Structure 1
Amino acid sequence: MLAAGEYLLGPENPGHGSDQLAVRTSRAGVGARVGHDLVINAAQWSARVTVPPSGPGDATIAATIQTGSLAITQATGGVKPMSASDRRTTEKNMRGVLKPHSFPTATFTSTSVAVDGNSLQVEGDLALLGVSRPVALTGTIEASGQVEVSAGIRQSRWGITPFSAFLGALRLADEVTIAIQGPLEPDGAR
């Protein structure tokens, strides 16, 4: 499907303003209805896909996310809409958890890539807060190079205690979903 070469994905690459990396959270606990499900987008991230002459099944993927660029872009649910003040407080709490001054980037490095038709399965290691753990992403890749992949990850595997309030009655679910979409373009195409 993809010819041998180097491909780029992410808004930090020229011409890739529509590429998106989003983290989706959900609520848990008896007080879940008062909280919000969030979509948190990374404004600064990039991925490089290297396809060798042997084909996409032997490709490698390396991605870098600037943790300080994560911002809430959508909040749904809850008894009332998320206020600007609540948003600022939540983003401040998020920066406190991710420590972007100490750990400015999160990285993903693939260990295997499997392509079957337009189905894509990528396994690799996600390094976050100085801890590296394996993750698996599944999704699709179209003949045009459009990629959509996602992975469910448990924050606690990286030593993150999900946010909670009201003595644990409202808490962020441990599992969040990371979703990536955008067109792969040959390096140097723009």
Structure 2
Amino acid sequence: MTDPWTLTAAEGELQILTGVGGPAAKMGHRLTIAMASWRADVQWRGKQPVGVELVVDVDSLQVIKGEGGVTPLTGPEKGVVRSNALKALDVKKYPQITFSAEDISKTEAGYRLDGTVEIHGTSRPQTVDVAVGDSGDVWVMSASVPVLQTQFGVKPYSLFVGSLKVADEVNLRFTARHPK
């Protein structure tokens, strides 16, 4: 039995990348949002991962940057974006996002995790392909997963009667390093 791994924001990043939609989309910013507090526990049987549990603290959401838009995204605007995102995610009622992988299979590039994600109180099946690379003394892991907010009861933020809105599909990007 191999010791379990615990990965946190100290070993990697968990980011959300958004797009913009609507007739006034050129006015909006494509956002990079970081989740600053998360924990992934990986269980092993020999050299094979057999379970993964990820817990993300929604209140740790931080707006890193905004690309595009008519003007650059300022510090105060980042605060407004954060507030709107926490309201849309109803952080007081749903303080965590979770993913639990019950089935893990080896792939050419790493592992396929089949499990359940819970966002905003709604659970859905989710598959995550994790690429794993050997970087000498560390394992490097990465994954990118598209998620439709509306499938989890999250209403994408919009302005001007919907003529400018956050795109329904966001992309979750995960990277981490673990010593061998």
**Length-normalised TM-score, structure 1:** 0.86
Separation in 1, partners of 2:170, 2:53: 21
Checking the alignment, whether the CA contact within 8 Å between 1:135 and 1:151 is kept in structure 2 is: no
CA-to-partner distance for each residue in 1:140-162, whole Å, 9 max, x for gaps?
A: 11233211012101001110111
Given the alignment of the two structures, is residue 182 of structure 1 paired with residue 173 of structure 2, yes or no? no
Is the partner of 1:71 in helix, strand or coil? strand
Separation in 1, partners of 2:98, 2:131: 21
CA-to-partner distance for each residue in 1:139-189, whole Å, 9 max, x for gaps?
A: 311233211012101001110111111121111111101111111357xxx
Given the alignment of the two structures, is residue 122 of structure 1 paired with residue 120 of structure 2, yes or no? no
1:120 Cα deviation after fit: 2.5
Q: Which runs of 5+ in 1 are unaligned?
A: 12-16
The alignment-based identity, stated in percent, is 23
The amino acid of 1:139's aligned partner reads: V
Checking the alignment, whether the CA contact within 8 Å between 1:98 and 1:129 is kept in structure 2 is: yes
Name whichever structure is richer in strand by fraction. Answer: 2
Checking the alignment, whether the CA contact within 8 Å between 1:156 and 1:162 is kept in structure 2 is: yes
**Length-normalised TM-score, structure 2:** 0.91
Q: CA RMSD in A?
A: 1.7
Q: Tell me the equivalent position of 1:7.
A: 5
Checking the alignment, whether the CA contact within 8 Å between 2:50 and 2:102 is kept in structure 1 is: no
Separation in 1, partners of 2:179, 2:123: 28
CA-to-partner distance for each residue in 1:107-157, whole Å, 9 max, x for gaps?
A: 110022222243332221111122111122123112332110121010011
1:76 alignment partner, one of 67, 70, 87: 67
The amino acid of 2:5's aligned partner reads: Y
- 1:22-101 alignment to 2 at 5 Å? 22-53=15-46, 55-56=47-48, 59-101=50-92
Separation in 2, partners of 1:110, 1:103: 20
Q: Tell me the equivalent position of 1:148.
A: 142
Checking the alignment, whether the CA contact within 8 Å between 1:135 and 1:153 is kept in structure 2 is: no
Is the partner of 1:167 in helix, strand or coil? helix
The amino acid of 2:143's aligned partner reads: V
Greater displacement, 159-168 / 40-49: 159-168
Separation in 2, partners of 1:184, 1:51: 14
1:22 Cα deviation after fit: 0.3
Checking the alignment, whether the CA contact within 8 Å between 2:26 and 2:70 is kept in structure 1 is: yes
